[in-house]
Chain A
Amino acid sequence: MSTYLNKFPPHRDDDRAHEHSHHDPGFWRTYIFSTDHKVIGIQYGLGALSFMLFGFFLMLLMRWQMAHPGEPVPVVGWLLEKTLGQVAARGALSADLYNSFGAMHGTIMVFLGVVPLAFAAFGNYVVPLMIGAPDMAFPRVNMASYQCYVLGGIVMLVSFFIPGGAAQAGWTSYSPLATSIPTDGQIFWIIGMALIITSSLLSAVNFIATIIQLRAPGMTWMRLPFFVWAQFVTGFLLLLAFPPLEAAAIMQLMDKVAHTSFFLPTGLAIGGQLANASGGGSPLLWQHLFWFLGHPEVYVLILPAMGIVCEIIANNTRKPIWGYKSLVYSALVVGFLSFLVWAHHMYLTGMGQKIATFFQATTMIISIPSVIILTCLLISLWGGSIRFNTPMLFALGFLPMFGMGGLTGLPLGLAPSDIHLHDTYYVIAHFHYVVAPGTIFALFAGIYYWFPKMTGRKMNEFWGRVHFWCSFVFMNIVFLPMFAQGMKGMLRRMADGGANYSAARVPGAIDTLPNSIMALHTWILWAAMALGLAQIPFIINLFWSIRHGEKVKSDNPWQSTTLEWQTPTPPPHGNFATPPRIYRGPYEYSVPGHATDFFPQNEPPDFVATPEVSTAH
């Protein structure tokens, strides 16, 4: 344990500016109940990665079932039966179990995996450093938000083992299905969501207040790294979009537990019998309230990723980002518009033309700033001295993958084509392209990039490249076929993988799923398993490099301009001995006349013959 404290000293004994007394706070306050943003960031990071791995396993089991409906799962089938009982009889997934895996895969990946990693983990660690702050504005609130997250995660995991199983109504939990499923898993889901939402709200308040209040002297708004802007907008999205879902969750809980009828229509029949409820409610109301969050949520998923990619591209092209102002304004506009597009998830609920047109219009408009952001990042590559290290590989991989994901969103955002594609595998392919080879690639890039600042060592380059290339290839093999499946009419959430609608099952019927489409299931299954194997070098690399990675020779091994690299490695408690003073923008690379090809933000100006070429706004 003492070697740990030596490696990650939260306090520096020789830190004279540190005003508090120097007794060792002990293991628990240093690593478990810490209020230091860096520790909390790492806690979020490790927690989120674990949840993502778990969600990945759920998906593998589901993909097996789709390729081999009703057959026992190899290797782990016996374990499923042992732990889950009847629903996994003979080691095969029953339809109910499949549904619960589907619902929980989505919930866990989005709310316990990607968002905590992208927003809370990276944001907590990097943002205060990038703006020159000693910590977050509210460190104890920060710790509380992490604890809520853990509690929410535990509640979600426990729900698998209660009678009736975990939630089974999709990550979207539509009423009246969610209320009528005879399992308490839905209640656990709601309570878990309430805890996770609380965690996010506390984090959002913290992030926004920190960015507004704790910027170091000279760090004006237009000198902020784009990553900070992205986190700022993301904070607002979480702050304002989550509460209506919390309201809806309370109402759905009341429906389930107090037998109210917020979302239960009059005359509802369940299992052939009239439901014992007053009726008068509206299932559509749930959908509106859910998607009011649901749409900003996807921008929560993508904005931090864009921020990370921006930082890494600037650093590895050794030139300023093209279109910084456009990036900033686009991020703000995306954030604003994201509140006004939600019903494009609801085109098929019987909406009239006027309202559908409104949402279609706002959806088309919001694609403009998204494309501007991607374009700025792409153009930034032009004329750069590109260094192809592992973070840069992932960042470069992000660009075309996000492009594909984004473009395939267009036929979904346009109401007429969405009529054909809604609720099919096309949708699944679209959003996985944006989140999986999109956001998750950016998050991998961020891990490889900031690892040296956290640990003082680099992750292994060779295995990083193996991780990248294998992930890149297999992600595409997993998700590309799904576009074809969706266009052929394969619907989502079918426990048998569409076998009931296949040409093999009902030969001669019109528009069945042809064998070629069904055969893709096998390709996807093998590619998914290969994708899983490809993560093993990453996991080993991550932990091995903490002790045995190549030591960095300076505090700024990537020769970056942003503030987080101008601290000791790892940064001590309080980050900076005195508030840094900022003189220039975040991407002053290759400034003519300057000694090095990077000009850190807090380095005093050159007072020599060459005029200062700083582009301060």
Chain B
Amino acid sequence: MNNSMTMNDGRSPEPVHSVRGYLFVYFALLAGTGLTVWASFIPFGSREINIGIALLIAGVKAFLVAGYFMHLISERKMICNVMGFTAFFFLSLMFLTLYAMHDFPPTTVTH
């Protein structure tokens, strides 16, 4: 291991401290919220599309909060990896369970 470590050496680069940057994210989040509400009233035909759009906007907002407010975007790999695996396991739980509950032998009686 390198013994000549200085304070900033190897540390994550200092996250953006600019107030302007944070304000930009803030207004983007507010706009995103308004957009979500507005889009939910537009009839796209099938409910799935509405759900998809809402989740997409929510995903973008989540990325902004996690990336900039929580500084994930300037964080080291270790933490991003942990959160990445977590997201993967959560999605597996949800989709595999969903799949399991909708895959049954053809003669099963469902109400």
Contacts and interface: CB of A to CB of B under 8 A. Distances in A.
B78 A355 contact: no
Contact of B105 (A343, A346, A350): A350
A352 B103 contact: yes
Given A240-B86, A339-B92, A340-B92, A355 B108 contact: no
Contacts of B100: 284, 288, 343, 346, 351, 355
Contacts of A289: 97
Interface in B1-60: 1, 3
B109 to A, nearest CB: 10
B66 interface: no
Given A339-B89, A339-B92, A355 B103 contact: yes
A220 interface: yes
Nearest to A343: B100
Interface residues of B, number: 18
Interface in A258-290: 266, 282, 284-285, 288-289
Interface string A287-314: 0110010000000000000000000000
B96 interface: yes
B89 A352 contact: no
A220 B108 CA distance: 55
A527 to B, nearest CB: 39
Contacts of A284: 100-101
A217 B89 contact: no
A358 B103 CA distance: 12
B108 A350 contact: yes
Interface string A345-374: 010001111110010000000000000000
A403 interface: no
A336 B86 CA distance: 11
Contact of B104 (A217, A282, A352): A352
A549 interface: no
A353 B97 CA distance: 14
Interface in A123-181: none
Contacts of B103: 351-355
Given A284-B101, A350-B105, A217 B1 contact: yes
B89 A240 contact: yes
A494 interface: no
A410 B97 CA distance: 23
Contact of A351 (B78, B92, B93, B104): B104
Contacts of B108: 350
Contacts of A266: 111
Contacts of B101: 282, 284-285, 288
A212 interface: yes
B105 A352 contact: yes
A284 B101 CA distance: 8
A350 B103 CA distance: 9
B46 to A, nearest CB: 23
Contacts of B92: 339-340
A284 B103 CA distance: 13
B44 to A, nearest CB: 27
Nearest to B104: A352
Contact of B78 (A212, A285, A292): A212
B93 A355 contact: no
Contacts of A288: 93, 97, 100-101
B93 A244 contact: yes
A340 B90 CA distance: 11
Contacts of B3: 217
Contacts of A351: 100, 103-104
A219 to B, nearest CB: 9
A218 interface: yes
Nearest to A352: B103
Contacts of A352: 103-105
Contacts of B111: 266
Given A220-B1, A351-B104, A352-B105, A292 B93 contact: yes
A285 B93 CA distance: 11
Nearest to A340: B92
A217 B105 CA distance: 58
B97 to A, nearest CB: 4
Interface string A303-333: 0000000000000000000000000000000
Contacts of A292: 93, 97
Interface in A183-228: 212, 217-218, 220
A277 to B, nearest CB: 17
Contacts of A350: 104-105, 108
Contacts of A282: 101
Nearest to B93: A292
Interface string B76-94: 0010000001100100110
B104 A343 contact: no
Contacts of A339: 89, 92-93
Centre residue among B1, B97, B99 by max chain A CB count within 10 A: B97
Contacts of B96: 340, 343, 355, 358
B26 to A, nearest CB: 30
The 6 tightest CB contacts between A and B, nearest first, are A352-B103, A355-B103, A288-B97, A352-B104, A355-B100, A339-B89
9 contacts: A240-B86, A282-B101, A285-B101, A336-B85, A343-B96, A346-B100, A353-B103, A355-B99, A358-B96
Given A240-B86, A351-B100, 17 more contacts: A212-B78, A217-B1, A217-B3, A218-B1, A220-B1, A240-B85, A282-B101, A284-B101, A288-B100, A339-B89, A339-B93, A346-B100, A352-B103, A353-B103, A354-B99, A355-B100, A355-B103
